[in-house]
């Protein structure tokens, strides 16, 4: 089953249930060695420069596109509630707060329902990225599913 991905107002919301326990999904999302393998749309690879998953902690990484373009990223964690919730601002060094993200990890028996809310400052900002961001999120969550299936 593909991830449910939609635009609601100034948010992009992705929902996916994984056939994996919550601790495993949390670990895949917060361990730099694991996240480097699956993060990003199809064809992307990652270099993790630092990842400190704690309030005020920074996650710096470069996404390497299949077209050869590098995309530097900077995340600052605001709230970390293991293994339930991550709240962070995401951007790059020139604009560290391009959008705000809330990720929830909910137990559903032996499965985990993940809900990712990406909140932009305006509906216009969402419209500017929606064409590629919706597919990108769908593919990213698909890559996470494939990664978890190998665990």
Q: Provide the pLDDT confidence category of residue 125 given band limits of 50, 70 and 90.
A: very high
pLDDT value of residue 20: 97
DSSP one-letter string for 88-107: EEEE-SS-TTSEEEEEEEEE
Bridge pairing between strands 85-91 and 11-18: unpaired
Domains of the chain: 4-149 (3.30.530.20)
φ and ψ of 136, to 5 deg: -60, -45
Alpha carbon distance 39, 32 (integer Å) = 10
Mean pLDDT of all residues belonging to the chain:
97
What is the distance, to the nearest Å, from the Cα of residue 12 to the centroid of all Cα atoms in its chain?
A: 12
pLDDT value of residue 35: 98
* pLDDT tens digits, one per residue of 69-121: 999 999 999 999 999 999 999 999 999 999 999 999 999 999 999 999 999 99
Residue burial 78-100, b: 16+ Cβ < 10 Å; e: rest: eebeebeebbbbbbeeeeeebbb
């Amino acid at each position: 089953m593909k991830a449910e991905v939609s635009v609601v107002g100034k948010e992009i919301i992705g929902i996916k249930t994984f056939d994996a326990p919550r601790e495993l999904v949390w670990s895949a999302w917060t361990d730099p060695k694991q996240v480097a393998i699956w993060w990003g749309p199809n064809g992307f690879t990652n270099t993790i420069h630092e990842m400190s998953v704690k309030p005020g902690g920074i996650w710096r990484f470069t996404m390497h596109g299949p077209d050869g373009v590098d995309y530097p990223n900077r995340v600052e964690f605001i709230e970390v509630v293991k293994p339930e919730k991550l709240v962070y601002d995401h951007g790059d060094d020139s604009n560290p707060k391009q959008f705000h993200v809330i990720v929830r990890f909910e137990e559903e028996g032996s499965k985990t329902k993940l809900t990712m809310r990406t909140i932009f400052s305006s509906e216009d900002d969402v419209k500017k990225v929606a064409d590629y961001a919706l597919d990108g999120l769908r593919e990213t969550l698909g890559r996470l599913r494939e990664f978890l299936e190998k665990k």
